[in-house]
A and B are shown apart, each in its own frame.
Chain A
């Protein structure tokens, strides 16, 4: 440092120090701008362009696409369905994932690492393969489970799973479960190992201990897991595409269809932009609420 001060006037050295962070982060910033900000801005711009069956995309500024989304109840239904599925998926993962993480945390050494692997293992398998597994089990008359139950005479018609919202929620919950378990698991690691004994010594039974002592402390973990699961489910593509197909579209599959099948890129861009804006608002808003509500636990 002193060598620099010797050869250059002090002002220049200061300027160089001030520039250093920018120079050092420039490669990452350029990547960020190049592959995220520019395409994003182009997509937003695209949503204001005109499109016609024969004329293609016309680079003009009109609100046609946004007007269509705002007035046609078809799009409202689509977005409502998207968020309904995301909310139900989030609830399901929270209801199953939080107890799962708690039980996992109470297991002893070797079993704990084994079951942690079982929970995380599916992350190594493609979402498409995992969702196709559900289709193999429940897909119409040829689904394995449906076939077995029907030949056993337990059901007459196949269990409705494919092309239903229930099926989509179940398959999405399966795909998203590891994120919830990991998030709750991280919160459980912060618990004082003696906290349950402390509650017990004061006269609390196991249910009271979980409800009054454990739950409030792992709630931030459940909620941050919920944010991850919600945003991933609302923007999920593969699972809704396989389970819902063309018959039961959500925002992501709708945008995909507009881009690649109808070739109405501007409308697809408007759908994608709206989904992004809605998700960002929901996630940032709930995150702020959670941090304020659980300030003491986060500290």
Chain B
């Protein structure tokens, strides 16, 4: 039984369709990410759930009840904004207490819950600080405490970590995941950062131009991208133009001097898609020359000029000797690591 359900939701601004045919069912306690480039409609979808925008078509249901009929102030959702939108004239404790005040929680209980919420995000002792006297990370934590203290049915996070520096962002990701696991709040995160989506979520909704490209676990979307867009957007990928050779039995998929048994049901020109870390240097395979070799600590990044155009290869720094720039190599990979897309036979 779906906890939060979006049923063919669409949003139009004038003639422009920003979100189209968006259907998703979220289970209770699940952590979902909306992932896509800016302008793909992910924030618009979030704002429709929050109630700041009304869907043009479709329904949004929470525990079977129509959410669009409820005023945003009555939906009881917790929202963390990209800019945090803290109240600058109130202290951290007053910020967190605001939602409880609106719910007419008695003063003593309010104080206790505010204290607990601030302690949970690691800000015990910061009760009387004003937001402008806090660092970005601390403000972010206050915003999270403010959204969680009202025990929201769903927590909505709108690019909450995008204003933090890389190191702090990583710390907050881990912390966010731990907090969410502990209290079990159903959470929807909007992000354009694929690493963030992959490390935090149970499932990722990859969006492009207002449409859902794929819904799946982080591993599914990475290993078995449903479209070229998904494979390009989630990490680096190599796309080689290839053909199906039907004269051989069984049929083979051929790209330059590399070939492998063809998957059933394909013919004509196809695209072979392979992640750079799944490519190895072998004795046989796609002919290539190393153009640049970049050392990145735990791995090497090779940019190659192959028979089928530019290719990138990532090799783990396992201490073994690596080919040098200008060296001719053969690129090879296991057939199960690639995905072949093309016209259906």
A residues bordering B, Cβ < 8 Å? 192-195, 197-205, 208, 212-213, 216-217, 294, 296-297, 299
Asked if B107 CB lies within 8 Å of chain A CBs, one says no
Question: Which residue of chain A has its CB nearest to the CB of B149?
Answer: A202
Q: Establish whether residues B87 and A203, one from each chain, have CB atoms under 8 Å apart when the complex forms.
A: no
Q: Are B132 and A296 within 8 A (Cβ)?
A: yes
Assess whether B85 is in contact with A216, with CB atoms less than 8 Å apart.
Answer: no
Whether A202 lies near B89 (C-beta < 8 A) is no
Residue B22 at the A interface, CB < 8 A?
A: no
Asked if B102 and A195 sit within 8 Å, CB to CB, the answer is no
- Partner-A contacts on B (CB < 8 A): 50-52, 72-79, 81-89, 98-99, 102-103, 130, 132-133, 146-147, 150
Query: Given A198-B86, A202-B99, 18 other A-B contacts at CB below 8 A?
Result: A192-B84, A193-B83, A197-B50, A197-B72, A197-B79, A198-B81, A198-B85, A199-B87, A200-B51, A200-B73, A201-B73, A203-B103, A205-B73, A213-B87, A296-B89, A296-B132, A297-B88, A299-B133
Task: Please report the C-alpha to C-alpha distance between residue A195 and residue B52 in the assembled complex, in whole angstroms.
Answer: 12
Q: Which of B51, B79, B89 contacts A198 (CB 8 A)?
A: B79
- In contact, B146 and A203 (Cβ under 8 angstroms): no
Tell me whether B98 and A201 are in contact (CB under 8 A).
Answer: no
A296's partner among B52, B74, B75, B88 (CB-CB below 8 A) is: B88
Q: Pick from B86, B89, B150: contact of A203, CB below 8 A.
A: B150
| A194 with B81, Cβ < 8 A, contacts A203-B103, A204-B73, A213-B87 known | yes
Inter-chain CA distance A216–B89, complex, in Å, is: 7
- Chain A residues near B88 (CB-CB < 8 A): 217, 296-297, 299
Contact B89 A208 (CB under 8 A): no
> Are B133 and A204 within 8 A (Cβ)?
no
Q: Hey, which chain A residues are within 8 Å of B86, CB to CB? A: 192, 198
A299 in contact with B99 given A192-B85, A201-B78, A202-B150 (CB within 8 Å): no
Pick the residue among B50, B82, B102 that contacts A204 (CB under 8 A): B102
The residues of B that contact A199 with a CB separation of less than 8 Å are 87, 98
Tell me the minimal C-beta distance from A275 to chain B in angstroms: 35
Q: Max chain B CB contacts within 10 Å: which of A194, A203, A212, A299?
A: A203
User: Measured between alpha carbons, how far is A212 from B88 in the docked complex, in Å?
Assistant: 12
Binding site secondary structure of chain B: loop
Q: How far is the CB of B62 from chain A (nearest CB, A)?
A: 14
> Given the interface contacts A200-B72, A202-B150, does A217 sit within 8 Å of B89 by beta carbon?
yes
User: Which residue of chain A is the closest to B78 with respect to CB atoms?
Assistant: A201
CA distance A201 to B74 in the complex (A): 8
CA of A198 to CA of B77, assembled, Å: 11
- Nearest 9 CB-CB pairings of A with B: A203-B102, A202-B99, A198-B85, A194-B85, A216-B89, A201-B79, A296-B130, A194-B81, A299-B132
- Which chain B positions have C-beta within 8 A of A201? 50, 72-73, 75, 77-79, 147
A residues in contact with B75, CB < 8 Å:
201
Contact partners of B147 in chain A: CB under 8 A = 201
Q: Which of A194, A205, A297 contacts B89 (CB 8 A)?
A: A297
A55 to B78, CA, bound (A): 82
Q: Which residue of A lies closest to B82 (CB)?
A: A194
| A112 vs B108: C-alpha distance when bound (angstroms) | 45
Bound: A199/B81 CA distance, A: 11
B153 CB → nearest A CB, Å: 12
How near does chain A come to B93, taking the closest CB pair, in angstroms? 14
Chain A residues near B133 (CB-CB < 8 A): 296, 299
Contact residues in B for A297 (Cβ distance below 8 Å): 88-89
Closest to B132 in A: A299
- A200 to B51 CA separation, bound complex (whole angstroms): 10
Contacting pair A192 B83 (CB below 8 A): yes
A194, A202, A213, A216: residue with the most chain B Cβ atoms closer than 10 Å: A202
Whether the pair B102, A194 counts as a contact (CB closer than 8 A) is no
